[in-house]
A and B are shown apart, each in its own frame.
Chain A
């Protein structure tokens, strides 16, 4: 009697993984004027006045606001641009 042939069954599957996301965070500072901060948010983040004002108030009252979340390369660009306007911006890994 011959040995049973065992043929391993190999399955492969692709598990989708999410690329990690990055936050652009702005911290409060006592120097920059409120109107300046609103103008910078509108220009750099390309957002409407109402949202820019909401972020500005959040920074002012809570000390910080996450103003953008997404892929790292774009987050780096935005954080650098906000720093060029002398806002206290930094990058944080999301989650």
Chain B
């Protein structure tokens, strides 16, 4: 697989990095709490929880490091192989889920999908800011998926 590149402005990188510092630790926790783990066998449940926790923590670290190392203008994140790209995709998904559950729990699904909320001045600034980041993480995910599989969204 050829090297994959995610490019963004330095400003976007700074904003996303700041948000990641806040949300990444929670993202790992939320993704484990949200998982429907079979509870009828304690040993399996324990293995299941540990597997999800370890992976979520590792991916949160990967995401934070990738953004921290993306220097310059434009800021570029390089992903060297499928494994890195897939882990990055999963980490972005975990962050979006955490934002959804911790920041936009009161926002209906349909409203979250539309960009109108971004212009809704009745929302607190922090919430609109987090919403913009949520959309940005989605765009990064989409860009990466299209590089990995150009037919994925057909």
A residues adjacent to B (C-beta < 8 A): 29-36, 38-39, 43, 49, 76, 79-80, 83-86, 88-91
Contact = CB atoms under 8 A, between A and B. Distances in A.
Of the candidates A33, A34, A49, the one having the most CB atoms from chain B within 10 angstroms of its own CB is: A33
Contacts of B90: 84-86
B149 A39 contact: yes
Contact of B51 (A31, A36, A39, A84): A84
Interface size class of B (residues with CB under 8 A): 20 to 34
A85 B48 CA distance: 14
Given A83-B36, A86-B90, A88-B34, 10 more contacts: A31-B100, A33-B138, A33-B142, A33-B153, A35-B145, A43-B86, A79-B38, A80-B52, A84-B51, A86-B94
A35 B93 contact: no
Contact of A84 (B55, B100, B138, B149): B55
Contacts, number: 61
A86 B151 contact: no
A29 B142 CA distance: 17
B152 A35 contact: yes
A35 B92 CA distance: 14
A10 to B, nearest CB: 38
A7 B146 CA distance: 77
B97 interface: yes
A85 B149 contact: no
A49 B52 contact: no
A29 B52 CA distance: 19
Nearest to A83: B35
